[in-house]
Amino acid sequence: MFGKRALIIFVFVPVILVFGAGCSRYTPTPIDITAGEYYEDEEYQKLSGKDREAYCLNLAKELDSLESRSTDAQAQLEQNREDISRLTQELRDKEREYVNLTTNIAELSGQISALEALPKEWKLIYGECLWTLAGYEEIYGDPLKWTRIWRANYDMIEDPDWVLAGWTLTIPRHWPRRYSVAQDDWLARIAGYWEIYGNYRKWTVLYEANKNQINDPDLIFPGQEIIVPREAYPSE
C-alpha cells in the first residue's frame, strides 16, 4: 500500500513541475501612453487581468487629458479668432492712416518744392517799390508785409519810400530765431512784426528769453541780437 502511494507521488511531481514551468507570468512591454504608445491587440490579449485594468485606467486618464486639452485648445482658437479679427481691423485702420499720411506727405512735399522755388532775392525794376514787391504772389502776396523786406535790407535801404531800379533785395523766407534790434525798435513792436509773433502782447516771451542781456524791458539798444523762441510759434 505504501509503495503505491509513493509511486503516485513520484509520477505527479514531474507533471506539476512541468505544468508550473509552462505557466510563468507574462511580462508586458513597457509603453508610454502619453507619448502615443499603445498595445497591439495580440499583446493586449496576453496581459493579465490586473495589467489590463491598469492599462484601461491609464487610457481613460489619457482620454480625459486629451478632452481637457481639446477644450482648452478650442477656447484658445476662439480667442485667436477674436484677436485676428481685431488685429485685422487695426491693420486696416493703420493702412488708411498710412494712405492719409502718404497723401499729406505728398502734398507737403509739393508745398515745400513750391516754397523752395520762390525767389530769395529780387532785382528791382523801374516803377517797383517795397509795397508792390511784397504784394507779388511769389513774394508774400500781401503788400502790407513790405516792412519785412525793408527790415531784411536795412544796410541798403535808408528810406523805404526811396528805392532804385537795379537794386537786388533779400527776400526772407524763414521764421527768424534771432532778431537784430533796429533803431526805434522796442520789444512790443518787435513781437508785433508778422514774422516774429504778429502779436505785440507777446513781448513778454522775448523778455523772458533775453533776461541775461535785457535788464529793463523798456530799454533795448540798436544792434542787440535777441533770441526769438519758437517752441509755441511757427518755426523755420
Asked whether the CA dihedral 172, 174, 180, 181 is positive or negative, the reply is positive
User: In which band, very low, low, confident or very high, does the pLDDT at 6 lie, cut at 50, 70 and 90?
Assistant: very low
Q: Alpha-carbon distance 219 to 181, whole Å?
A: 11
Q: Where are the domains of the chain?
A: 2-84, 119-227
pLDDT in tens, 93-124: 988 889 988 888 888 787 677 777 788 999 99
Give 24's contacts (C-beta < 8 A, 6+ positions apart). none
Residue 231 CB neighbour total at 10 angstroms: 6
**Of the candidates 199, 180, 197, 182, which has an alpha carbon nearest to the alpha carbon of residue 235?**
197
* Predicted TM-score of the model (pTM): 0.51
DSSP state of 38: -
Strands (E), the chain: 121-123, 168-170, 178-180, 225-227
Supply the CATH classification number for the domain 119-227.
3.10.350.10
CA atoms within 13 A on the CB side of 218: 0
C-alpha cell at 197: 509773433
DSSP state of 233: S
pLDDT in tens, 27-73: 888 888 888 888 888 888 878 878 888 888 888 888 888 889 899 99
pLDDT in tens, 215-230: 999 999 999 999 999 8
Q: Which residues pair with 178 in a beta bridge?
A: 227
Which amino acid, 227?
A: I
**Of the candidates 184, 179, 192, 188, which has an alpha carbon nearest to the alpha carbon of residue 224?**
179
**Predicted pLDDT of residue 5:** 45
Note whether 174 and 236 are within 8 A (CB): yes
**Predicted pLDDT of residue 232:** 53
